[in-house]
Chain A
Amino acid sequence: MDKKDSQVVDVSVQAMNLGTGVTGMAAGFAVTLKNMVRSVPGRNTVTIQYPEQRKPYSRRFRGVHALTVRPNGQLKCTACFLCATACPAECITIEASAVTDDAIEKVASRYEIDLSRCIFCGFCVDACPEEAIVMTREYDLATHDRMDELQYGISDLTDREEIQAYGAGYRPHMQYPLVESYLPTELPAKPQDDID
């Protein structure tokens, strides 16, 4: 911008900016104050004791993935690669192999999600024609290692305790409340305070 131009100041605009600035600031402080008063110890505390205490969150939360299984315990995934195709972060690695079962023909012998790259968009779940991959409500993924511990293979995606503990999250093709029998193990009932 020209130096001359910058010196021209429209007083009315300045006054308006000042006005909105002040009201905006006041509104912000009002929220702060309200919460400050609210959270005086002993009264209605907003802060919770995470991780012992947790907030309710959506039933359709897009957390860590789970691979679903057939009644006989075999993976439902037929390695069609639609999830890997849809994945914008390109973090799904699949290797297919043949099975003698004529009705199935093809299974995933390796299925790996690189959670360090995953953006939890849920496109893989949307893309899967068989609901072979769903998302659980698991969200706490902190590790001491950025690479290895965040590479989830078939057993991580089917056998981990957390899958049952957190329960199923995002599953676009299913009616809510969920029929959870597809998940690797019977799921315990979840607390009722969840938000749908």
Chain B
Amino acid sequence: MPIVTIDGHPISVEPDTLIIQAADRAGIEIPRFCYHPDLRPEGNCRMCLVHIKGFANLSPACTTPVTDDMVVNTAHQHDQVRQATKGVLEFLLINHPLDCPVCDQAGECSLQDFYLHPDYGLHPSDVDPPEKVRKRKALNLGPIYLDSERCVMCSRCVRFSNEVSGTGELQFVHRGNHVEIEAFEDRALRDPYAGNLADVCPVGALTSRDFRFKRRVWFLRHANSICAGCSTGCNVRIDYAENAIDRVVPRRNPAVNKSWMCDEGRLSYHNLQDLPRLESPLQRTEAGLQPVSWEEAMLLGQEGMRGPYGRVSAVVASAMATNETLWILRQCANSLPTPTEIDFRLQSINPDINAREDHLLRRLDKAPNSRGAMLLGAGAGRGIEAMAQSAEEGKVGVVVILHYPPLVGQDDNARLAAFQRLIRGAAFSVVLTNTVSGWWNGADVVLPVASWSEEEGTFTNFAGITQLTEAALTPPGEARPAWKALRDLLPVGSLSPRLATVEQIFDRGVAVISAFEGLHYATLASREATVYPPEGRKSYGQEGFAGR
């Protein structure tokens, strides 16, 4: 393997690795605009120039592959590189509107960060045009806003729409100072992956309409999560503040979603925010369902689930639930005194977890954990329809239903109708759900549970990759994670030792099952997908606030 020396650090990399990739791997920072790890390198911005020993001219690190014994120096070490980088920045800033106060990218903008860099930023401008070139601002392109004046002409967006989403909707027009990004006739973008344009754009030229003026990014808190919009399981970062999600952006994971996610998944948090959330446990009384305390609801649930005997029980699982919740649900099913059927499928046909919806990421199965549910044996029955049939025939005693409405698309009416039939036919029914809706009328106990983004746990995607999702928000009202509620419904002493955290359930329960063998919660947690943006670069200008 070639060994390249960058800024005095010897780095051993595979042949054909680009200098910028080698530097990224070693944690040496090279500024860049046009290079993106998941786009074809183009080398047009000249921000990444480095000095290679023996070469007369500086070379772009993003298009030059390493060779053995290459000696590279970056702006940190080399004066000529520093001068060149400074020059590129200065040119880019000549016509830049400097409107950071109204720009949503401020705080995560490459141009801003590089200008504040101690090595090549903070220079006074030697070019002072009498008038800046003005271009179009705040142009609404559907999911994206275009502000041409802020563009640094890196062409990442053009390459994204040509190479990745394949819609080819963006192109450069005009020449020289007047170059602009344009969508044909300014029509709204019809790319179902257009949201990624705001992420690839290193500056504020393309920003998200959904996030527009919502919050300055430095107020956001982050949680690494997994999109619950389909069985692909894209790695995402939930950006939230004041217990509300402000946006969801992709995290880079070359094995699953590269740096991308679809717009449906990106906006799926709105569906969650729009749900009328169930905030307190309910109990059936003469006057319909009435709020009760958790303790009462639990006592009632435990008592009801111990009898009536002599009939079969039905447990409905959900592929929206985490592996940990499903595992506890299995224990619940096992603990019932009668033979129990458990299933999350409507009929006894296995869901086609792999079926694609398009060429890129989306899959037809709109639940994030169907694979996990299958592996955990939560799809072992004859399907919910068949269980409902038995209930109508009066054969079912206890019914436990766990249900979350999907985050992409609508609730399946056939499924809800089957739930209703189950509840009507059962002698005793417990419902765990996160939403106020009509189908659970008639249930004996209804328990409010936390949704995606409100509880941690693991999902297993279509390909069998088990990934961790962190909690970002606190659940509304008295809602609790479903695994907690289910664990407390189990007869005392049936789980020993008492499982107090998701980690314990995973390590002592889930990981015992052969499909999950060798996995540890702690290593899932530390196996961090790379975050994009800001992709391995530190933000400058933050020190002032951090030290406050």
Residues on A facing B (Cβ under 8 Å): 78-82, 85, 88, 96-98, 102, 104-106, 129-130
Contact = CB atoms under 8 A, between A and B. Distances in A.
Nearest to A101: B138
B219 A102 contact: no
Contacts of B55: none
Interface stretch (B210-218, B272-280, B370-378): B210-218
B102 interface: yes
Nearest to B136: A102
B137 A102 contact: yes
B124 interface: no
B213 A97 contact: yes
B102 A78 contact: yes
B216 A81 contact: yes
Contacts, number: 34
A105 B216 contact: no
9 contacts: A78-B102, A79-B213, A80-B101, A80-B106, A81-B216, A81-B219, A85-B216, A97-B213, A105-B102
- Most A C-beta atoms less than 10 A away, residue of B100, B138, B218: B138
Contact of B102 (A80, A85, A88): A80
A85 B101 CA distance: 12
Given A81-B219, A85-B545, A105-B138, A129 B213 contact: no
- Most A C-beta atoms less than 10 A away, residue of B99, B101, B106, B214: B101
A131 to B, nearest CB: 13
A82 B548 CA distance: 15
Contacts of B548: 88
A133 to B, nearest CB: 13
A78 B545 contact: no
B286 to A, nearest CB: 42
Contacts of A106: 102, 213
Interface in B189-225: 212-214, 216, 218-219
Interface in B94-124: 99-102, 106
A24 to B, nearest CB: 39
Interface residues of B, number: 15
**In terms of DSSP, what is the predominant structure of the interface of chain B?**
loop
Contacts of A105: 99, 102, 137-138
- Most B C-beta atoms less than 10 A away, residue of A78, A88, A104, A105: A105
A85 B137 contact: no
A78 B548 CA distance: 25
A127 to B, nearest CB: 11
A129 B216 CA distance: 16
Contact of B213 (A82, A88, A96, A102): A96
Given A80-B102, A88-B548, 15 more contacts: A79-B102, A80-B100, A80-B216, A81-B216, A85-B216, A85-B545, A96-B214, A97-B213, A98-B138, A105-B99, A105-B137, A105-B138, A106-B213, A129-B101, A130-B101
A98 B219 contact: no
A102 B101 contact: no
Nearest to B101: A80
Contacts of B545: 85
Contacts of A81: 216, 219
Contacts of B214: 96
Nearest to A130: B101
Nearest to B106: A80
Contacts of A97: 213
Nearest to B147: A105
A81 B220 CA distance: 13
Nearest to B100: A80
A98 B213 contact: yes
B101 A82 contact: yes
Given A102-B137, A105-B137, A105-B138, A78 B216 contact: no
A189 to B, nearest CB: 34
Interface in B495-548: 545, 548
Contacts of A102: 137-138
A12 B218 CA distance: 60
Interface string B132-150: 0000011000000000000
Contacts of B216: 80-81, 85
A34 B524 CA distance: 77
A51 B100 CA distance: 45
A109 to B, nearest CB: 9
A79 B102 CA distance: 7
Contacts of A104: 102
B421 to A, nearest CB: 47
Contacts of B102: 78-80, 104-106
A101 B367 CA distance: 43
A88 B100 CA distance: 22
Nearest to A80: B101
Contact of A78 (B101, B137, B138, B212): B101
- Most A C-beta atoms less than 10 A away, residue of B100, B102, B106, B138: B102
